[in-house]
Amino acid sequence: MPDLTLIEAVNLAMHSEMARDGDVVVLGEDIGRNGGVFRATVGLLDKFGPERVIDTPLAETLVAAMAIGLSTQGLRPVAEIQFSGFLYPCVDQVVNHAARYRNRTRGRMSCPLVIRAPNGGGIHAPEHHSESLETTFAHMPGLRVVAPSTPARAYGLLLAAIRDPDPVVFLEPTRCYRLFKQPVEDDGEALPLDACFVDREGGDLTLVSWGAMMHDTRQAADRLAEEGIAAEVIDVATLKPLDMDTILASVAKTGRCVIVQEAARAGGWASEISANLAEHGLLSLFAPVMRVSGYDTVMPLARLERAYLPDVERILAEVRKVFEIAPKS
């Protein structure tokens, strides 16, 4: 089993699924001859040719709309948007059309498409390259929103996203593209799109996160373990639909929960999870659910992005508040 980075796993999933299913096409800006700005589509053009690996003009609305058109004809388009901030022109197409065609035609039409984009900051990128858009899409009915955190999950979840009969927004953690390697088996096995992953078990505290923040969350759990606190770590992975059952079961066991998100705080997906915990898990909680998040600021440019991004210390600070209120007995 080869050790792959997350971006290599994304690339492998597309190679694998394009070979398996002739209806899969990929499209986007600079994804063909150039292999993608992050190299996610390297080798696809040579292997599958220019008809299935489509270099589009520099027009994000068109990329999303074209994917919609392709998908209505039974193809399985995987569209790349280069940077998360450039997803905004796609919102109209994805929300007003992709997410609605099945419902408004009462099942006559469907849009089995995937829109892939890097998500989040931490790579000192230029302006508009570091935003976290998961909640923008997760709020919208008719979509699935996936945010993988490891190479193996990126591979398995992308296969699932391409095979899913409905539109999927697939947000890849930019900062983790080349952060670490992991063995990834090219076995064509998809992972479930309706389940959180319990990364590690623990009885004292539940840490919930997704995407790039999983990396810091795991490190925080390591630090807590050194202090004798056993954190259960949950990778939400699929934000919409949200598997609250797994999170509630964990909190029923631990009684403490901290949720970590990179996106701005107000109305983020951590808030949605927290509200669900208040509604369905309050009686098993020993302490308030705490959120670690980006601030309600515009995403800072590179020099100050570390002031914004949650990190291990900020996660630990919230965890300490929880244990101050509800000490480990």
In the bound complex, what is the minimum distance in angstroms from residue 240's beta carbon to another protein?
8
Take residue 2 and report the two structure tokens written for it: 């080869």
124, 129, 215, 280: the active-site residue: 129
Cα–Cα distance, 1 to 73 (Å, whole number): 36
Q: How many CB atoms lie within 10 A of CB 242?
A: 18
Closest CB to another protein among residues 42, 109: 109
Q: Does 97 participate in catalysis according to the annotation?
A: no
Task: Assign 291 to helix, strand or coil.
Answer: strand
In the bound complex, what is the minimum distance in angstroms from residue 106's beta carbon to another protein?
4
Closest CB to another protein among residues 51, 324: 51
Per DSSP, the chain holds a count of helices (H) and strands (E) of: 12, 14
In the bound complex, what is the minimum distance in angstroms from residue 241's beta carbon to another protein?
4
Closest CB to another protein among residues 216, 243: 243
Q: Provide CB contacts within 8 A for 188, sequence distance 6+.
A: 16, 17, 20, 159
Nearest to 34 by CA among 51, 50, 13: 50
In the bound complex, what is the minimum distance in angstroms from residue 80's beta carbon to another protein?
15
Residue type, 274: S
Cα–Cα distance, 292 to 304 (Å, whole number): 18
**Residue 134 near residue 210, CB atoms below 8 Å:** yes
Closest CB to another protein among residues 143, 319: 143
Binding site for another protein (CB under 8 A): 25, 51-52, 54, 56-57, 59, 61-62, 65-75, 77, 92-93, 96-97, 101-110, 141-142, 165-166, 194, 241-245
**Residue 40 near residue 11, CB atoms below 8 Å:** yes
In the bound complex, what is the minimum distance in angstroms from residue 140's beta carbon to another protein?
11
Closest CB to another protein among residues 12, 53: 53
Catalytic residues: 129
